[in-house]
Amino acid sequence: IPPDLRFEVASLKPSEPGGRGGGIRPAPGGMRYLANNCPIKLMIQVAYRVKAEQIIGGPGWLDTDRFDLDAKAEKSSSAGELHVMLMNMLVDRMQLKFHHEKKEMRMYALTVDKSGPKVTPHEAANAGEPWIDIATEKFLHLKMKATCAPMDYFAFRMSQLMDLPVVDLTNLPGGYDFNLEFTRELPPGFPEGGKINGEDPDTSGPTVYAAVKQQLGLELKAQRGPVEVIVIDHAERPTGN
């Protein structure tokens, strides 16, 4: 992917006060990236595929101020191309300067289990876009469907669901198709005997650790180790368009 790709037009402006919720995502069709009521730090997390704790330094408004983004590509583009455009837009609009470092921290190492991987290499004939659909069938029960997903992308999507960054140490090349179903732990602070829609929460089914091992032939293990972090050296608050 050419590193200098840019959106054809991009509107990045402060959100209306009092907005609720918020997020950022590429729109279907490969033409646009949209965000509403979204902190710049979250945009950086998405652009560089890191967790919040992997971004160090920078002014406080990166966390607190919220922005709306409507960015349009010149032509239908891949997810990877839109990603590069998002990175370049943030650098251009905020005079963003940063460098990468490795920092020792708690993380989950994603490795291949001794039984060997059970993921299916995606056929190159129909390369397609790397993507992972995540559906919550019911409270705590997640289904992931991966298409052409490289392991580092899977690690990033798992990081979003876990309490620590997930680091890909599998050394598996290329993209993979697989399904993963697991049951999340009850959220911290969930009251003893608490109900969901009047019923006891269903905690049956494999944990994420068991499911990754049984269904994918991989292993997730909490440990300390070097994790790539982004250190922000300079950022200016984006002005209008």
| Sign of torsion over alpha carbons 74, 78, 82, 88 | negative
Q: What is the pLDDT of residue 209?
A: 97
Q: Which secondary structure element, helix H or strand E, spans residue 179, and what is its range?
A: strand 175-183
Q: What is the pTM of this model?
A: 0.78
Q: Write the DSSP string, 74-125.
A: SS---HHHHHHHHHHHHHHHHT-EEEEEEEEEEEEEEEE-TT---PEEPPGG
Task: Quote the strand ranges of 15-54, DSSP E.
Answer: 23-26, 32-39
Percent helix, percent strand, percent coil in the chain, to nearest 5: 25, 40, 40
Report how far residue 123's alpha carbon sits from residue 116's, in angstroms, rounded to the nearest whole number.
20
**What does pLDDT average to over the chain?**
90
Report how far residue 210's alpha carbon sits from residue 214's, in angstroms, rounded to the nearest whole number.
6
pLDDT exceeds cutoff 60 at 127: no
Contacts of 155 by beta carbon, 8 Å cutoff, 6+ apart: 110, 166, 167, 168
Task: Give the pLDDT confidence of 195-214 residue by residue, as tens digits.
Answer: 887 888 889 999 999 999 99
| Sign of torsion over alpha carbons 160, 166, 172, 178 | negative
- Going by the DSSP 8-state scheme, the letter that residue 5 receives in this structure is -
Task: Give the pLDDT confidence of 11-32 residue by residue, as tens digits.
Answer: 999 998 887 778 888 888 889 9
Report how far residue 134's alpha carbon sits from residue 159's, in angstroms, rounded to the nearest whole number.
13
- Nearest-5° Cα angle at 204, 206 to 163: 55
Average pLDDT of the segment spanning 161-189: 92
Report how far residue 148's alpha carbon sits from residue 132's, in angstroms, rounded to the nearest whole number.
9
Q: What is the pLDDT of residue 189?
A: 84
Q: How far is CA 88 from CA 129, 137, 152, in A?
A: 21, 36, 21
Which two structure tokens, joined as six digits, stand for 63? 């966390």
